[in-house]
Amino acid sequence: MEGLTPLHVAVERRSEKHVRWYMDHDAPWEMQDNGSLTPGELALALGLRRIFNIIFEGAVRNEYRFWNLPLTEMPWPDENPYRRASMRQQPFSIRNGDYLNAPVTYRNPRPEIPGDFAMIDDQGNGVMMEWERPLMKESARLLCEGMGEGKSILNIGFGLGIIDSYFQTYSPANHTIIEAHPQCLKYMRKNGWYDKPNVRILEGRWQDFIGPMFSPKKVKRIPDQPGGGGKGLGRFDIIYFDTYQEGYLGHVHFLRVAARLMSGPSARLSFFHGHLCKWKLGKEIYAEVARWHALDVGINSEYHDFSIDPDKEWTSFNPNKPSREQLDHPWKIPICALAPTVQRSVRRASGWAAPINEVPYEVLDIRKVWDSI
Ligand SMILES: C[S@@+](CC[C@H](N)C(=O)[O-])C[C@H]1O[C@@H](n2cnc3c(N)ncnc32)[C@H](O)[C@@H]1O
């Protein structure tokens, strides 16, 4: 039994009852055995589909609950080296402010590949990389196709401006971009984004303009939509969210304010799903966790698989670059829309009620949400 967690042992013994008990008690589902298999992967390797499902569903439920805890109650994660990957240390390690205050560079990180390009942070990590272009193109297509021209678009996080360039090809009536890094804003200016007639650039963190953290002073300086329509931030037919160093908590915070930015039932929202993205099972579990958090605020999600050749991918200049095997699974592009109604039971079963100052509306019938704001 060496190198096995109790959950692994329960899987090996094919005991659904014990697996269920461990998952009900928040057993670590991301711990590896000596052969690098987590309990869920062990169940798959042994062909135990039902046990795998118990672990999968338990992991989704437990991770979902973790992110609903107040920050002060989030348990400090241990640093067990057998953890395959964990999101739970993020609230203690992610520092959006530090990233925004440090320099970034725009350059070709691999001169041996002509045309390669990236935005790189001061730790040498890629903030945004040219190889992500196909993913951005597909995300823009899924968001915009069939919507017609003259739509209202909001993108949060400019990076290399890849998705914004694709958004422009769909001829939006107005296109708002929120970006917080001063050097990125300079890059945008240099590349003519401030001169585009249908583009409005909001300089600052998205939290400065949206949600409970925004300051009324800042709201006053939000220019009207290009073309004169709309006051303040407005509402949007298409929304994309892709920031950096905000982690899953940033994602949840954004979701909690996203519904009231959507123009109505046909509005579409997407985000870059990079959560546990170098691990197929982790990524799948976090796609579900994100679906639950979205449902809580009246938003439905649908995921589209999209593959990029793993040989073209890289995520960092650090020596611990992920292997081909770690990257060889499709990305998941979420397309989200307002759910017509969210049953009370969904919200109650989640055991979560947002603090009143975080979500200034009751999300039970989504029609009430946009009628009331
Ligand atoms: C991954 S890049 C976005 C890439 C973009 N989707 C593209 O197609 O090029 C993330 C961007 O979000 C910006 N960012 C990070 N934190 C932010 C915040 N709190 N508010 C607004 N922008 C932020 C970063 O400076 C960076 O430009």
14 and 120 belong to one structural domain: no
Q: Give the mutation target among 95, 99, 127 for probing the ligand 1 site: most ligand atoms within 8 A of CB.
A: 127
Are residues 188 and 260 both part of a single domain? yes
Q: In b/e form, how buried is each residue of 12-36, taking b as 16+ CB within 10 angstroms? A: beeeeebbbebbeeebbbbbbbeee
* Domains of the chain: total: 2
**pLDDT at residue 231 tops 60:** no
DSSP E strands: which ranges in 47-165? 105-107, 118-120, 126-129, 152-156
Determine, yes or no, domain membership for 63. Answer: yes
- State which of 242, 245, 257, 333 you would mutate to test the pocket of ligand 1, scoring each by most atoms of that ligand within 8 A of its C-beta: 242
Does 357 fall in a domain?
yes
120 and 76 housed in the same domain: no
Reported residue count of the chain is 373
pLDDT level of residue 318 (50, 70, 90 thresholds): low
Q: Find out whether 188 and 158 touch, Cβ atoms under 8 Å.
A: yes
Residue 92 lies in a domain: no
Domain boundary among 33, 54, 86: 86
Mean pLDDT score across all residues of the chain: 85
Q: What is the mean pLDDT of residues 313-334?
A: 74
**d(Cα 269, Cα 361) in Å, to the nearest integer?**
19
Per-residue model confidence (pLDDT) at position 93? 84
Q: For residue range 115-134, what is the model confidence (pLDDT) as tens digits?
A: 889 999 999 889 999 999 99
Task: Report residue 352's pLDDT band, with 50, 70 and 90 as the boundaries.
Answer: very low
Check whether residue 303 and residue 256 sit in a common domain: yes
Same domain, 351 and 222: yes
- Which percentage of the chain shows pLDDT scores above 90? 63
Q: How confident is the model at residue 355 (pLDDT cuts 50, 70, 90)?
A: very low
Which structural domain range is residue 293 located in?
97-371
Domain boundary among 86, 110, 128: 86
In a domain, 91, yes or no: no
Q: Which of 50-59, 293-302, 316-325 has the highest mean pLDDT?
A: 50-59
Q: Which region among 19-33, 36-50, 87-101 has the lowest average model confidence (pLDDT)?
A: 87-101
Q: Do 256 and 365 share a domain, yes or no?
A: yes
Please indicate, yes or no, whether residues 206 and 244 belong to a single structural domain of this protein.
yes
Is residue 370's pLDDT more than 50?
no
Residues 167 and 232 in one domain: yes
Q: What is the pLDDT of residue 79?
A: 79
Find the Cα–Cα–Cα–Cα dihedral 249, 165, 208, 302, rounded to 10°. -40
Pair 14, 143 in one domain = no
- Mean pLDDT to the nearest integer, 196-211: 91
Q: What percent of the chain has pLDDT over 70?
A: 83
pLDDT band at 43 (very low <50, low <70, confident <90, very high): very high
> Which CATH number belongs to the domain containing residue 333 in this structure?
3.40.50.150
Q: Provide the pLDDT for residue 164.
A: 98
Q: What is the reported pLDDT for 262?
A: 93
Q: For a ligand 1 pocket test, name from 155, 243, 316 the mutation site with the most ligand atoms within 8 angstroms of its C-beta.
A: 243
Q: What is the CA(247)–ligand 1 centre distance, in A?
A: 12
* pLDDT band (50, 70, 90) for residue 323: confident
- Which band of pLDDT confidence, cut at 50, 70 and 90, is reported for residue 86? confident
Same domain assignment for residues 215 and 321:
yes
- Taking only the tens place, the pLDDT of each residue in 136-189 is 999 999 999 999 999 999 999 999 999 999 999 999 999 999 999 999 999 999
Identify which has the larger pLDDT, 225 or 35: 35
Q: What is the mean pLDDT of residues 6-13?
A: 96
Q: Which residues contact ligand 1 via a Cβ below 6 A?
A: 96, 127-128, 136, 156-163, 178-181, 184, 205-206, 242-244, 246
Last residue of a domain, one of 58, 86, 114: 86
Distance 242 CA to ligand 1 centre (A): 6
Tell me: do 188 and 49 sit in the same domain: no
What's the CATH code of the domain at 22?
Answer: 1.25.40
pLDDT for 309: 84
Helix (H), strand (E) at residue 300: strand 299-306
- If you take atom 26 of ligand 1, which residue's CA is the nearest one? 159
Q: Which residue has the higher pLDDT, 328 or 101?
A: 101
Would you say residue 211 has pLDDT above 90?
Answer: no
Do 240 and 105 lie in one domain? The reply is yes
